[in-house]
Structure formats: C-alpha cells, structure tokens
Structure 1
Amino acid sequence: MSFKSFINNLGPGPIIAAAFIGPGTVTVCTLAGVNFGFSLLWALGLSIISTVILQEISGRIGLVTGQDLSQLIRNQSGKPLFKIFSMILVLTAIGLGNAAYESGNISGTNLGLQVFWDAPTLNFASFEIQTGNLILGIFAFSLLWLGNYKALERVLVGLVIFMSIAFSVTAILTKPDWTAVFGGFVPNWNDANLPTLVALIGTTVVPYNLFLYASLAKNRWSGSDDISWMRRDIAISIILGGLVSMAILMVGAANSSSEISSAIDVSKGLEGLFGNFAKYLMGFGLMAAGLTSSITAPLAAGLVICGIMGWSQEIRSRSMRISMGVIVGLGLLFASLGIKPVQLITLAQLANGVLLPLISGWIIWIASQKEVLGNFRNKPSQTILAVLIWLVTLALGLKSILAVLGYNY
C-alpha cells in the first residue's frame, strides 16, 4: 500500500479526533495532571482502546447497512413502543447533551480568546452576555451554514495538527520523569480521583461521535468492501488523538498553579519554563480545541435529529441548518447563565461518562444481530471484549452517580 493510496482512502477519522479533543479534553486532562500527576494515564489508555472498538462498530454498522445509527433506530421494525422510546431517548440525550456540550465548547474557546483579547461583557437583567461567546458562536455556525464538508474537514484537521504539535512539544519540554509516566499506566483509583477518572473516559469516548462516524463513514466509502480502510482510518486517528490527550495530562502534571479557573491560571504554572509564551500556548490550544468541537457537536446533533425525524441530512438542507442553529443557539444561552466555564466543561464531561453506557450498550447489541449485519456482525470474542468495556463504563458511571448523591461505596 503506497502513501498516496493511504491518503486518498483516509476517511473522517480525523474529524472524530477533532471532536473529542475539545476544551473538555484540555480542561479535564490538565486538572487530572495537576491534581493526580501521571497516575490516571491508564484511564486514558483504557479510553483509547474503548473508543477504537466502539467507533469501529459504529463505522461498520454504517457501511454494511447504508444507514447511520439514527436512521437505523427510526427504521427498526418490531415493537413500536420500544422504537418510540429509543427515538425519544436518543433525541433527548444527543440533542440536549450536545447543546450543553456546545455551551462548554464555546465557553472554552472564549477562555483561550481571553488570553489575546478580553471581549466585553454585557449585563441584561439576570443574564450575562459575553460578546466573545456570541462572536465565536456566530463564527462556528457560519462555517456550518456554508455547508462544505471538504472545507470543514481541512479546517478541523489543520487545527488539530497545530494543537497536537503544541501540546506534544510542550509535554516533552517539561522533561517529565519517564519512570513515573510509565507507572501511570498501572490501574488505580480511589474516592478522590473517581470523578476525574470518569470524566477522562467521558472526554474520549464521546456518545455523539458514535453517531457522527457512522453517518460520515457511510457517505465516505462505498460499503462493506471498504471496512478495512475504515478500520485503519479510525484506529490511527483515535490513537493519535489519545496521545495528544496524554500530552495534555503530562503538561498538567508539570503545572504548579494552586487554582485553575481559566487558561491564564493553567499557564501560570508553566511560566517558569516558558515565560509569557506559556500563556499564549495555552490560549491557542484552548481556542483550537474549542473551535473544532464547536463545529462537530452541532453537526453530529443535526445528523441525529434529522435521521430520527426522517428529514434530509444534506448539510445545506433547511432541516440540517435549523437543527444545527438550534444547538448553537442553546449553547450560547447556556453559556450566558453565569456558570464558570471550567465548571461547565467539567460537568459536561462527567454527564457524558454517565450517558455512555446507554448508547454503547445499544450499539454493541446491534452489532451482534445477524439480521442487521449478516456475516459482518461481531464475532463472539469481539462481543465479549465490547461487553467488558461496557461493564467498565457502566461501573464507573454508577459510582459517579453514587458519589454525587453522597453515598459511600
């Protein structure tokens, strides 16, 4: 296989990497490093493996059936009540979830922007409108409105490449203790780091990306004959994205700041190493991460909403533009409620980790059905591995809920 052939057959995997390397990834991974050093690197490793397996399943479903996951839910035959329940569940989880996600994405992007320009804040009654959020939200929606997948892909991939280089180089320059780094891949958890552990998994294994990849994959390739290309595409993209997440955690471990509530606070602990450059590096990283996710979250939600409702999923269609506009609009509204951006982003990631077992469990069940995938259904060994991953995410999600409710376990 030549390099040119590989590039020509490269699919939407980089878009998925762009989606999960958002401000939530930057924030949660940095806080994990600041608070727990390298000890939670194993959680990111588990997240990478889980994401590759689950995204491969979603891509395979899209290629074999010619439908994305939302269309599959709508077109399923059998029990009508179960079908209606499934449609409502997905619309609620992905629609409202992505609106909350979009709020964190826009707020996170504005955190990075504040390093270079502190946009004025306008107060109307109990609402606090940050003009930076408004400008960035309009910019993200404008890119989506133009409706050019190729242009969007180039923008997203370019931002991810520059962001990856920035964080990877930064991690190396911090001169970490590599023995301690490798020791971080030994699993361990306790009451103190459990919420962060769940958030780390949630920031990588993103439910809406499962829907997004199935939709993009079925449009990128011709069918089941291209499954091998799909597997290369998603494995390479997710592994590289996961390495960036690890680099961000390592940068956080080198951070000596006592309190983190903005990009400037994150960079203060690195000023001894980089000087003022640390501030601009973190600002650029957050802006790039936020912009990529600010574009992919409404895109994924639009595809899911239109697929569930049976509307056109063509990006320039009226239904897609309205759906994406609603998500961006709700994100801007949530971002105007006076919640601290870091809190908003972290809570979104934690909620994502709780929602994951519901979405991934359904996908694993679909992949085991011969009547859906035929000879391309999961082999018993694949199902066992997928179920083990599902059990881990379920256990972490349940423990997270118990922790929030104040129960000891």
Structure 2
Amino acid sequence: MSTVATHKKTLFGPATLVTAAFIGPGTVITASLAGANYGYALVWALLFSVFATMVLQEMAARLGIVTGRGLGENLRELVQQPLLRWPLLLLVVVAIVVGNAAYQGGNISGAALGAEALFADNSVIYTWGIATGVNLWALLLGALAALILWFGQYKLIERSLIILVLLMSLAFIGTMVLTQPNLLALLQGALWPTMPDGAVLTVVALVGTTVVPYSLFLHAAAAAQKWPRHGIDTKEALHAARQDIAIAIPLGGLISIAIVSTAASAFFGSKLQLDNVAQLAQALTPLFGSAATWCLALGLMAAGLSSAITAPLAAAYALAGILGKPLNLKQPVFRLTWLFIIICGVVLSSLGIKPVSIIWFAQVANGILLPIICLCLLLAMNHAVLGQYKNNRKQNILGLLVLLVSLLLSWRSLALAFALL
C-alpha cells in the first residue's frame, strides 16, 4: 500500500489540530453566553464562522503542502522589503508568542475547572491545593501537555488531539441531547439570520473565537509535515487535506452549536444569570441531572487541554518559521518556545494571577494581526511559486470576504482591549 493511499484513508489529520485549537475555554464561554443571552438566535454566526475557517485553512494547508514550508517561512520569502518585513515579523512574534503565553493561562485554568468539577471537592488533588494555595490541577494538566509535546512526534500529537476532539464531541453533543434542545428553534436560528438587541459584539466574538491567526500557522506547518513535499503526490495530498478539513472543521462547529444549545436550554428565558461556565455546569444538575453536569465538565477539561497543547505548538511553528529554523519538534528554538508558553500558562493559572495587562497587549496585537495575516495569506496564495495551485478567482473572492470580516474582528478586539484601560 502506498503512502498516498494511507493518507487518503485517514479520517482525521492536521485540520483536527485547528479544531482542537479553536474549541477552547474561550469558545466554551462565548458560546455559553450566546445561548444563555440570545437562545438559538445566533447559531447562524457559528455556521458563518465554520465557512470562513474552512476557506482560510484550505489555503493554509495548500500553502504548506505545495511549498513544503510553514506560513512563517513563507512570510519571510513573501515580504522582502526590510522596512515592511521586520515590523511584520515582529508583530507576528508578539501576537502569536506573547499572546499565546497570556491565553495559555486561560486554557489551563479552563481544563482545571473541568477537572475539579469532575472529581469534586473530595479529591486528593483538591485537598492538596487547599493546603498549599496552588492549583495542582493546573500543574498536572500543564505537565501532561508538556509531556505530549516533549516526545516530539507529530503522529503522537495528532493522535492525542484527535482523542481530545472526539472526547469533546461526545461530551458536548451528549450534554445537548440530555438538555433536550428545541430543534425547530435551533434550525430557525441556523437558517434565518437575526440580530437581537445588543448582540453585535457577541456575534463578532463567536466568529473571533473560531477564525484565529495562529491556527493558520499551525495548519500550514502541520500539513507540510503530514504530507512532505516530494514525498507524496501533491494532488493526492491536497485531496486528502480538503477531506480532512471537510470533516474536522464542521465537527468543531457542531461542538460550538451543542454548547449554545445547552446554555439556551438551561438559561434562556429564565431569571438565572450566567457569569461563568462553572455556574452553567452546576445549574444543569437540578434541571437535567448529574449526567449533563458530568458531560459538560468533561468537555471543558478536554477543550482546555487541547488548546493548552495547540497554542504552544502554533507559537513554536510561527517563531521557528520566522527565524528560518527547521520545523522540527525536537529543535531547540522550537522546544524552548512551547516550553516557555506552557510554563507561563501554568504559573498564571496555578497561582491565580490575572494577566490583565498582558492579555490587553495580546488583544491589541492579535486585533492588528488577523487582517494582516489574512492579507498576507491571500498574497502568498497568488504567488508564482505555487504554480497551478495558486488561488483561482472564486477562492480569491471568498478570501476577500473573510478579509472584510477579519477587519471587523480587528475593530472588536481593539475596542475590547482599550475598554480595559
């Protein structure tokens, strides 16, 4: 059996990393608030998010497969003017590396919240945490993420994330089934776009938690490793990558819709106020039984852990590519980058530090970065180096549409960041 045939039969691949990246605690919180505050009315925004993500990630995967390089390396080649090149590369480093270091605290904290809800207050780890004043779940989950990355095997990372994504799918979709959603209202919210009063920022937030710049670096580099240049037929690799995207990204969208539905069933139209996901998990017990609470907690732990793996991995791919280093998982710069981000996340989470200033800075950088990266990706996809695999007219039109949305997301990120001042 050829290598090509083996890859064609793989149901999940690098696109699973993207799903694992965007279904994190931030998405769980945003989708929960959308369901609690607006019911099923904003499901259409999630469908658009899935569409936009598929458009950009297909380009990123195609770039990685055809050139054999990640997005960071291609940016080095694309922008040759020093006055533009170094500010752009510096912005990428700041937004991706520093930004992910800040958000890693939220990833690990979310996973720890899920673990605490699963194992309750009588666990040995909880008792030790009370005695020491340190969140030991954060330490253990951070160590697990580091252990998976330390072995430096792409297949191990991919398979670990496939397991976590499938676990999230079962947990969140199972929770949705247990909460018995209004299927007619869900279908109406998906097919009939409406904008309830005060919902604009929530809509943009739903798109913003799915269409993120670091996933483009992650996917391009992962695709280049999954289907190495000259090691596999390009057309066959592209076909496999598109099948992978068509399965993994919509699955992520389904998970988000399940979270919205759960919150809508539990909170919409009631007098309860949803302040955090832990409150949602606790509220499910009297309404739908302990099984729903357990499923939601399990999903939150899987979501936090999957993002705690992909965020450091994406940052390492981005920095190594920009510095011209090999995208080797055991290469020193690569390993030091993801290790730094995991340590930052564990410290921020385990000690209860609220990195408001760092997150503010990260929001500003990411807000500026997203439309820039979208534009650079479009330019790269029209570069002569891609030959017959350049963007066609339809792909460029779809890419420009997503670019306009990214400008809206940029405005939202910057507005929220400056609101923290």
Normalized against structure 1, the TM-score is what?
Answer: 0.88
- Residue in 2 that maps onto 1:210: 216
Q: CA contact under 8 A between 1:259 and 1:265: conserved in structure 2?
A: no
Residue-by-residue CA offset, 1:237-258 (whole Å, 9 max, x unaligned) = 1011111111111111112382
Q: How big is the shift at 1:190?
A: 5.7
- Residue in 1 that maps onto 2:298: 284
Residue-by-residue CA offset, 1:2-23 (whole Å, 9 max, x unaligned) = x977434753222221221112
Aligned counterparts, 1:123-202, within 5 A: 129-185=134-190, 186-189=192-195, 192-202=198-208
Output the CA distance in 2 between the equivalents of 1:353 and 1:281: 33
Indicate whether 1:389 and 2:402 are aligned.
yes
Q: CA contact under 8 A between 2:363 and 2:413: conserved in structure 1?
A: no
Structure 1 alignment gaps of length 5 or more: none
Q: CA contact under 8 A between 1:268 and 1:278: conserved in structure 2?
A: no
- Letter aligned with residue 150 of structure 1: K
Q: CA contact under 8 A between 1:28 and 1:346: conserved in structure 2?
A: no
Single out whichever of 68-77 and 48-57 deviates more from structure 2.
Answer: 68-77
Q: CA contact under 8 A between 2:96 and 2:214: conserved in structure 1?
A: yes
- Residue in 1 that maps onto 2:389: 376
Q: Alpha carbons of 1:22 and 1:77: their partners in 2 closer, same or farther (altered >3 Å)?
A: closer
Aligned counterparts, 1:246-285, within 5 A: 246-256=257-267, 258-285=272-299
- Residue in 2 that maps onto 1:239: 250
- Residue in 1 that maps onto 2:55: 53
Q: CA contact under 8 A between 1:23 and 1:345: conserved in structure 2?
A: no
Q: CA contact under 8 A between 1:18 and 1:156: conserved in structure 2?
A: yes
- Residue in 2 that maps onto 1:11: 13
Single out whichever of 44-53 and 357-366 deviates more from structure 2.
Answer: 357-366
- Letter aligned with residue 375 of structure 1: Q
Output the CA distance in 2 between the equivalents of 1:352 and 1:80: 22
Q: CA contact under 8 A between 2:176 and 2:261: conserved in structure 1?
A: yes
Indicate whether 1:36 and 2:42 are aligned.
no
The alignment partner of 2:317 has SS state of helix
Q: How big is the shift at 1:359?
A: 1.9
Aligned residues: 399
Q: CA contact under 8 A between 2:139 and 2:350: conserved in structure 1?
A: no
Q: Alpha carbons of 1:98 and 1:123: their partners in 2 closer, same or farther (altered >3 Å)?
A: farther
Q: CA contact under 8 A between 1:112 and 1:263: conserved in structure 2?
A: no
The CA RMSD measured in Å over matched residues stands at: 3.0
- Residue in 2 that maps onto 1:308: 322
- Residue in 1 that maps onto 2:80: 78
Q: Alpha carbons of 1:399 and 1:147: their partners in 2 closer, same or farther (altered >3 Å)?
A: closer
Single out whichever of 75-84 and 295-304 deviates more from structure 2.
Answer: 75-84
Q: CA contact under 8 A between 2:171 and 2:295: conserved in structure 1?
A: yes
Output the CA distance in 2 between the equivalents of 1:345 and 1:264: 22
Q: How big is the shift at 1:405?
A: 5.5
Single out whichever of 99-108 and 109-118 deviates more from structure 2.
Answer: 109-118
